Structure 1
Amino acid sequence: MPTRWELDKASIYSTKAGEKDRTYLDSAFCLTDDVSTPSRHEGRQVAIGKKVLQTLLTQLAGQGSALSRERTALVVATSWSDESYFVTGVSGKTDAPAGFTPGEQVAELAAAFALGGPALSVDTACSSFPYALDMAQALVNSGQADNAIVMALNTVLPPALFLGFS
């Protein structure tokens, strides 16, 4: 854990529920990083979002359901920006990228796959996904898009967020 978050695990983690100022984990499912996944300083969440979109589009094409990308909207539900936005300047590299805001994150994802419909980021904390679904439905119903891809994209849940709920 210290290599991931640059924190001493003992200062934030407890093996039992309810200990003040400590986070507790019962179970979790995590995506496995590979060598192509950038660090948290370089847009890790955006890179994982690209992998998810590539997988979706490949599966759709394999089923004979390729999307007309020119009028496909992308709505990203998030309750946190890409971590790179919050650690800008922490990496110690002078040429480190500035990090992705929620708007830049969705714009980068839409551009990477030539999605020409509206590209929106919805951040209403834990309720982001239902609002994103509603927004996508409204885009299709209003004629602004023929299709919509809705994805929840949170690969980062920093210790500070967990500690706030402890």
Structure 2
Amino acid sequence: MLFKLGNLDNQVEVYWDNLYQIETYPGFSRLLIGCKSKEIPLILQFCKEMEGPFAVLHVLLMSRLGKEPGRYQSPYPMSYEELELFLYEHQEYFEQDGRHHLWVLSVSGEGQFIFDNHNYIYAYGNTESYLTTLANSGFTEGDIRIPDPHCHNYHSEYDDKEQAVHNAFDWLYSPLQEGDDP
């Protein structure tokens, strides 16, 4: 199976056993979530509890097809059903290739989820509700750390998926911002 994040020493996939951490900062808190697998269904489970509409930001860090790295924002608000269709259609690419980050957010401000190329999900919003969902899904609190050194895999097998995501919308483009590129 192809994977996006690996331990550089032995090229073994890096994943977590369904763990979360609560991170508290001045002015906000968020959850750091490490899944064993299937991050897209978890994000959709969180979104299903929201009114929506939703937006997607595909942060392309590196393209194997010569596309411009940058932030590609969906051009219009999406219903939950449209979001679900888009994410499931491209689930394999999002979960198994490391050339990007994926942001999913409620346009109304109910929540935001950043699924980054380190297989983390950062969850902003109603953390109490998210904790209930995580507990009901068998997640436990624990330490989530990326091994050092590690590698990000950009698989040629997903080049057609990169193109399909690029073709999904007339994306609104903006350059990468500081902090986008790890």
Query: Could you say whether these structures have the same fold, taking a TM-score greater than 0.5 normalized by the shorter chain as the test?
Result: no
TM-score by length of 1: 0.28
Q: Which has the larger radius of gyration?
A: 1
TM-score by length of 2: 0.26
| Higher relative contact order, structure no. (Cα contacts within 8 Å, ≥ 6 residues apart) | 2
